[in-house]
A and B are shown apart, each in its own frame.
Chain A
Amino acid sequence: DAGITQSPRHKVTETGTPVTLRCHQTENHRYMYWYRQDPGHGLRLIHYSYGVKDTDKGEVSDGYSVSRSKTEDFLLTLESATSSQTSVYFCAISVTGRGIAGELFFGEGSRLTVL
């Protein structure tokens, strides 16, 4: 699993509340990604990071922000959650030097329900 964990694994919240999802890795890989998974849409990139304090937007970044103050943690924040952000969120890291270069390893996912 390349030492990647997500927290919380499940969360139910109300519209308008802030939510932060955490992705933690233990192997100091540079590239980290946040995707959301929705039926009929597959996986869509929200934001990604290519180093500490270096982030960029993905396809569906509106309503989300990210921060990476240290290599091991990549935080995804919903400033004011909406029902359309109900989804399963996956963090991934890109691993080089082991197995297939540039292979993505995924976390177990964080299921978020916004009521």
Chain B
Amino acid sequence: AQRVTQPEKLLSVFKGAPVELKCNYSYSGSPELFWYVQYSRQRLQLLLRHISRESIKGFTADLNKGETSFHLKKPFAQEEDSAMYYCALRNSGNTPLVFGKGTRLSVIA
């Protein structure tokens, strides 16, 4: 069965500090991994996807198949990064996404 684990419910960091949001998954095949973000009073939106390997708003995430992880990282946190972050996976195409429980990031000024 597909499962996504985000071990931290809440992560608080100071502005300018590095950020790492953890995501581990269980899946027997080769999944597609995503990070979605929900800012206050806004709809969920895609932050990044492992296939594209690009950096969005300074965030990056590397898929580590050996450790079955897809941690989200940013070297210097900004106050505007405060939001709810969800890691998600799917096996391919348009199959439904399976989400983790989410991590709330709070960046303290």
Contacts and interface: CB of A to CB of B under 8 A. Distances in A.
A, B from the same assembly? yes
Interface stretch (A16-24, A40-48, A76-84): A40-48
Contacts of A31: 94
B13 interface: no
Contact of B43 (A44, A100, A106): A106
B40 interface: no
A40 B101 contact: yes
B9 interface: yes
Contact of A94 (B6, B44, B94): B94
B101 A102 contact: no
A72 interface: no
Which of A44, A58, A90, A100 has most B Cβ within 10 Å?
A: A100
B101 A100 contact: no
Given A31-B94, A42-B102, A103 B46 contact: yes
A108 B43 CA distance: 5
Contacts of A1: 43
Contacts, number: 49
Nearest to A96: B94
B59 to A, nearest CB: 15
B49 interface: yes
B97 interface: yes
Interface in B83-107: 86, 93-94, 96-102
Nearest to A94: B94
Interface string A22-41: 00000000110101000011
B45 A106 contact: yes
Interface string A58-95: 10000000000000000000000000000000101010
B28 interface: no
A106 B98 contact: no
Q: Nearest 5 pairs between A and B by C-beta?
A: A42-B101, A43-B99, A106-B44, A31-B94, A42-B102
Given A1-B43, A94-B94, A103-B49, 20 more contacts: A30-B94, A33-B96, A33-B97, A35-B99, A40-B9, A42-B101, A43-B86, A43-B102, A90-B43, A90-B44, A92-B44, A96-B94, A100-B49, A100-B52, A102-B94, A104-B36, A104-B44, A104-B46, A104-B97, A109-B43
